[in-house]
Structure 1
Amino acid sequence: MKTWMLLVLFFAGLVSPLTAEEQVTAEPLAVSENHLPGVAVAQGITEITGVAISPLLGVSAVGSWQYFKAPADVRDDLPWYCQPWAWGTGFILLAMIFLKDTLGAAAPGILKKPFDMAELFENKASALVASAAFVPLVAREMSKGMEKVEVPAGMLGHEMMAAIDPAWWLVPTSLVAFGLVWVCSHAINVLIILSPFSLVDSMLKIARFGMLLTIGLMYWIAPWLGAALCVVIILIAAWLAPSALRLMIFGTRFAGDVLLPWRAKTTATPDRPHVFTLGSIGGLPSRTGGRLAMNGNGDLEFRYRRFCVMPETAVRLPDGERHIAKGLLSPAVFNGEEKQLLFLPRYRGREEMLVEVMHFKEVREHRLTRGLAAAKEWIRGALGSRRQIAG
């Protein structure tokens, strides 16, 4: 619980939003004696970046901070996320996540994965709410601060800059920045559901917490320093966003199949199975999603759509002796000893059908599956020997 309390206190110190009177009267940040225009912009950048890294915690912490900071007679006029039902629900969900991580650390990783997958979808929902209702409010307050910044009369484009409302471009820019940082932070949740080790899960979450802590420390030293660090984070996120987006799509479909197996089984198509690349095939990056199919010549092809909407493109798979290896959650395609493609979990149990349709060589047990099977047989043998002795 100490970790979550530190996170809440961190965000409470990180954000010093408008008082309730300022929000009700809709006065610009710059006119407040506690906020200068530059500080308001730095604060907004820091808030958006911090909330993008952890949407549920960020929105809940900001909402509760504004609620308790405001006088009692104007609390009903605060935005929805400042109401107790909103941030109270958020903190309840955070407490459940904390218990899952604490109790799950002592359990085998495979037992905790369904709960990690549920947290994956919670993170998506929190980001959707934050991007639709929180980020625009912060961006508009930033624009109010920027309106108070006087543009020198001799500067090129003075009249045009003075006439443009900063909110016109600041709101969409803030949403883009939020999305870039969030999709990279969300990749940590995907890596957690893919990792079989609880220790790795904890290290990934500690790394994310360390990033939040660093942002808060830099903002505490100087608001512009925290904003500068956030700008660097946004630029790095823009560079990593394509890979993170592919990982997000993969993790979403993978987790959806595990959590809703009855629905996933009805959408399985063994003649055109859903697969993701695990290596470089035809110059495509790893985790590219598509379909596996046979062409008219009997060659195996990987078919995909760029940006999920472009016309379908086919890439012929290199020749070799391919087989399917069963996995704990989903089967995979091997070319010799090289793993090339990973099926969605909906195809688990249909390996023999895939071999027949795709003309693979055989079906093999996964190494981990073989190890578990061997251990199971050993336990059965040991128990059987004892029963015979007892008889």
Structure 2
Amino acid sequence: MLIAFSGVLGAAEVESAPPPAKQEPAKEEYLPGVAFSQGITEITGVAISPLLGVSSVGAWRYWKTPAEARAALPWYAQPWAWGTGLVLLTLCFLKDSLGTAVPGLLKKPFDMVELFENKASALVASGAFVPLVAAEMAKHLDAEKAAVAVPTAWLGGETVAFIDLSWLMIPGAVVAFLLVWICSHAINVLIILSPFSTVDAGLKLLRTALLAMIGVVYAIAPWLAAAFCVVLILIAAWLAPAAMRLAIFGARFAGDILLPWRGKRRATPENPHVFTLGRLAGLPPRTGGRLVLLDDGTAVFRYRRWCVLDERTVPLPEGVRQVEKGILSPSLVHGGEEKMATLLLFLPRYRGHEEKVAEHLKLQGVREHPMARGFAAVKEWLKGVLRRGPAEVRS
């Protein structure tokens, strides 16, 4: 699907006596600009799906390289690397294919494992794959003598210094990769939040279609694929803040589900961890913070801008405020039965602490989630159907 960007060196020069020297892969001869187009296309495609992208590029390069030069290929083009990746991709495919036939909640733990796999793959790709691609792009730019003239000054007068564009290539490629990846990673978070397997399959199909589109456009014209990838990077830069908040929320939510004992130890019902769901006092959705009771008895939402800047507090709206029990985590609801709005979502670690939270923050009690009430009714019905012996009659 993705196009490998490197070729193979010719045979090394040999002297008369020694055996032939070991061949090493090298860059192919490209028309001006083609190497840059191919590199930015690879980086964007790998950012959309790191495991699939790195495995595909590695397998493609391995099979396009003569057998005698394969030992000198980079790590991602070695069979142990792309073979492991393809095995993991096959397991993910089987999970998604078989998962459409089972309830979404039964598949969620595996989706959460895949969420962390996506993070690990992106970490490896950004540190050990993208710099290699960027370095290869820089070599082609260096061959074309690409440089930037910068006027400077020194004691002897004004002069001009030339900055090699290759110095900027690696950090720029890593930033572009992270921008696209964080937006693609948001799809994994939406999958673990969606209760429907068909929606999960649709989201993954959308991501795969985008990845396939990049490959098709590149086959038509490399410069057109590069322009398309630049547009994707600009869109990703605009969506990155929202995607980052969603990624933080998804990581903490999935961590509490997969490691419940760790979350229970860190639960603090007196000032619980929460995330905004709607627009609370102008805050964007999925802003993380804590619920705190001030000395004057006012319950507020306290958060830090960009997680590290100054701390701010937002008072909760007046009226009936209750903690609603959920299937995976509680939430804070506001309003009457006719018009109930969900303001905040607690982390899953606070399941079972609903009464303590409501009592400490002086809220108006705890209520059952409608879906939880439905599950309770089904449970009672099954107990009645499966009960052995005559039912007990109470007067």
Mark yes or no: TM-score above 0.5: yes
* Map of 2:325 onto structure 1: 326
Q: Which has the larger radius of gyration?
A: 2
Q: Are 2:302 and 2:314, in contact at CA under 8 Å, matched by a contact in 1? A: yes
Q: Output the amino acid matched with 1:269.
A: T
1:89 aligns with 2:84: yes
Task: For residue 65 of structure 1, report the CA deviation from its aligned partner.
Answer: 1.4
1:207-234 Cα shifts (integer Å, max 9, x gaps): 1011011111111110001111101100
**Alpha-carbon distance between aligned partners in 2 of 1:346 and 1:100, rounded to the nearest angstrom:** 27
Change (3 A) 1:309 1:151: closer
- Which position in structure 2 is the counterpart of 1:228? 227
Counterpart position of 2:156: none
Question: Which one-letter code corresponds to 2:363 in the other structure?
Answer: F
Confirm or deny that 1:357 pairs with 2:360. Answer: yes
Paired position in structure 2 for 1:169? 168
- SS in structure 2 at match of 1:269: coil
1:251 alignment partner, SS class: helix
In structure 1, the residue matched to 2:214 is 215
Given candidates 9, 21, 25, the residue that maps to 1:21 is 9
Range that drifts further, 159-168 or 347-356: 159-168
Q: 1:39 to 1:114 in 2, by over 3 A?
A: same
Report if aligned partners of 1:151, 1:158 keep a CA contact under 8 Å in 2: no
Residues 114 and 275 of structure 1: CA distance in aligned 2, closer, same or farther (over 3 Å): same
More divergent stretch after superposition (351-360 vs 338-347): 351-360
**Given the two structures, how large is their TM-score scaled by the length of structure 1?**
0.90
CA separation in 1, counterparts of 2:162 and 2:183? 36
Alignment of 1:295-306 (within 5 A): 295-306=294-305
Question: Within 5 A, what are the aligned runs for 1:275-286?
Answer: 275-286=274-285
- Name the aligned partner's letter for residue 357 of structure 1: H
State the partner residue of 1:60: 55
Q: CA deviation at 1:56?
A: 0.2
Q: Determine the C-alpha separation between the residues in 2 that align with 1:24 and 1:288.
A: 54
| Deviation larger for 315-324 or 15-24 | 15-24
- Counterpart of 1:19 in structure 2: which amino acid? G
- Asked if structure 2 preserves the Cα contact closer than 8 Å seen for 1:114 and 1:258, the reply is yes
**Normalized per residue, which structure has more strand?**
2
1:355 maps to amino acid: A
Amino acid in structure 2 at the alignment position of 1:322: R
State TM-score, norm by structure 2: 0.89
Q: 1:151 to 1:259 in 2, by over 3 A?
A: closer
Distance 2:311 2:320 in 1: 26
Shift of 1:273: 0.5
Query: 2:130 maps to which residue?
Result: 135
The residue aligned with 1:294 is 293
Partner of 2:342 in structure 1?
Answer: 339
Distance 1:21 1:45 in 2: 23
| Cα contact 2:25–2:69 (8 A) shared by 1 | no
Q: How big is the alpha-carbon RMSD for the aligned residues of Structure 1 and Structure 2?
A: 2.2
Paired residues for 1:1-391 under 5 Å: 10-11=1-2, 15-21=3-9, 29=27, 32-33=28-29, 35-149=30-144, 163-336=162-335, 337-384=340-387, 387-388=389-390
From the two aligned structures, give the one with the greater helix fraction.
1
SS of structure 1 residue aligned to 2:333: strand
- Give the Cα separation in 1 of the matches to 2:271 and 2:111: 29
CA distance in 1, matches of 2:386, 2:76: 58
For residues 161 and 341 of structure 1, what CA distance do their matches in structure 2 show? 57
Q: Report the alpha carbon displacement of residue 379 of structure 1 after superposing the two structures with TM.
A: 2.5
Partners of 1:276 and 1:139 in 2: CA distance: 38
Aligned residue pair count = 370
TM-superposed CA distance for 1:40, in Å, is 0.3
Distance apart, 1:104 and its partner CA: 1.0
Instruction: Tell me by how many angstroms 1:95 deviates.
Output: 1.0
Secondary structure of the equivalent of 2:9?
Answer: helix
1:8-55 C-alpha deviation (Å, 9 max, x unpaired): xx22xxx1321243897685x4xx33x223100000010000000000
Letter of the structure 2 residue corresponding to residue 132 of structure 1: G
Closer/same/farther in 2, CA of residues 122 and 87 from structure 1, 3 Å limit: same
* 8 A contact 1:327–1:366 mirrored in 2: yes
CA distance in structure 2 between the aligned counterparts of 1:144 and 1:156, rounded to whole angstroms: 19
TM-aligned CA distance change 1:151 to 1:61, over 3 Å = closer
Q: Offset at 1:156?
A: 7.6
Q: Secondary structure at the match of 1:313?
A: strand
Q: What residue is the counterpart of 1:3 in the other structure?
A: none
Distance 1:112 1:356, change over 3 A: same
In the TM superposition, residue 161 of structure 1 has moved relative to its aligned partner by: 9.5
Secondary structure in 1 matching 2:112: helix
Aligned AA (2:77): C
Q: Which residue of 1 aligns with 2:155?
A: none
Per the alignment, do residues 134 and 265 of structure 1 end up closer, same or farther by CA in structure 2, a change over 3 Å counting?
Answer: same
Shift of the alpha carbon at 1:372?
1.1
Indicate how the Cα distance of structure 1 residues 204 and 24 shifts in structure 2: closer, same or farther if over 3 A, else same. Answer: farther
Q: 1:157 to 1:199 in 2, by over 3 A?
A: same
Q: Deviations over 1:83-115 (max 9, x none)?
A: 111111111111111111111110000000000
